[in-house]
A = this chain, B = another copy of it.
Amino acid sequence: MTKIKCTVAYDGSGFHGYQVQPGKRTVQREIQAALARMHHGQTVKIAASGRTDAGVHAFGQVFHFDTPLHLPEERWPMALNSLLPEDIYIREAEEVPDAFHARYAVKMKEYRYRLLTRTEPDLFRRTYTTHIKQPLDLALMNRAAEAIVGTHNFSCFCAANTDVKDKVRTVYHLSIQPENNDETVIRIVGSGFLYQMVRIITGTLLDVGTHKMAAEHVSEIIAGQDRQAASATAPPQGLTLWKVTY
């Protein structure tokens, strides 16, 4: 058996998230269906770096699988892309040592959250951005971000419905920058992220940027370890899993 690591982009708009669910169109299901066709109907399970929720996109999601096929590594993307729907695209593939695991070997993940920051909505970007009509104070948001960077117990930024016990994570980078005239991009890099952590951080930064919450309050929220103290979860549309580093 050969272990293949793939980097995949997908448009989350048309999926009920990454993970297989009975009767639902999911990313994992489509990729496994394509792999099954390549393996004469045999099931090939893939393991990804983590799940993404419905509506969340990926530019650099990573998964691995084991295969008995002897295909040169550079042939996998074209072979799979020819069988995959147009909203999934395998960007790269490489053979990896048997010890590799797309989930357990993750060193860092980068997410980007894209905001449309102008008065008018844009229906062509409605699934790739979250529209924020009010002006955002980026200086305040970046000040609040400084409190989030570092190693903390991030219970305050974790959705309640999770089994994860250890809520300590490290955020290496968090910045909020304007882009393309009318967008604002939140870039966050961390050792790993709790369930809906990026979207809750985004919601909190948005409250700071619209003067609903003081930037200084964010460190108290983190110290308090209480999800209720943080802001509402931002919608999935603006979120993209950008890069996974091993």
Query: Which of A's residues lie within 8 Å of B, judged by CB?
Result: 9-11, 57, 86-89, 91, 120-121, 123-124, 126, 128, 180
Contact = CB atoms under 8 A, between A and B. Distances in A.
B11 A87 contact: no
B123 A10 contact: yes
B10 A86 contact: no
Given A57-B124, A89-B121, 12 more contacts: A9-B123, A9-B124, A10-B123, A11-B123, A11-B124, A11-B126, A86-B123, A87-B126, A88-B123, A89-B123, A91-B120, A180-B180
A9 B120 CA distance: 12
Contacts of A57: 124
Contacts of A128: 124
A57 B126 CA distance: 14
Nearest to A123: B89
Nearest to A89: B123
A57 B124 CA distance: 9
Nearest to A9: B123
Contact of A86 (B9, B88, B126): B126
17 contacts: A9-B123, A9-B124, A10-B123, A11-B123, A11-B124, A11-B126, A57-B124, A86-B123, A86-B126, A87-B123, A87-B126, A88-B123, A89-B121, A89-B123, A91-B120, A124-B128, A180-B180
A193 to B, nearest CB: 22
A113 to B, nearest CB: 15
A159 to B, nearest CB: 25
Contacts of A121: 89
Nearest to A120: B91
A45 B9 CA distance: 42
Contacts of A87: 123, 126
A128 B122 CA distance: 13
Nearest to A13: B124
Nearest to A57: B124
Nearest to A240: B124
